[in-house]
Structure 1
């Protein structure tokens, strides 16, 4: 056997083992997905600390502000997912049986 000979199987685009043929991720999709995940997580945690107050964290006013911030970020989180989907070009297959 010659040195440096490629022993990996030559698979066609349909036979590649990514997601049972449903989706073949483009280059860099993993890093972009991690970036969007971190952005969503940081926005959630950041919303807890956006309000400046001299009150203790268990004061009812602080709790209401934090609850409101988390409610807003949780409401906007589907927009993060939609933006990720549009930016990466990921498409969902609707024909489950095919």
Structure 2
């Protein structure tokens, strides 16, 4: 389920970093998202599997390659949903903390 995926640790951070930077290699994503590289890689794979990000491999030699990621059109829509959820969350906390 989409909401479960974007609620996972680092998922929305990865999506927002790709939205701001268009395309990033794995190391670039790790600079924006603090966390264990294995966790970030696992979330990236899930985002890829769900069609939220696309992946491009660039081979520098037979043993050295870099993976570049960018949002798909669907991923850009998901990013907008994340923005809307953040606005709703802010409104919720404002209303909850407002004296009656």
**TM-score, normalised by the number of residues in structure 2:** 0.28
Indicate the structure with greater helix content: 2
Greater C-alpha Rg: 1
Larger strand proportion of the pair: 2
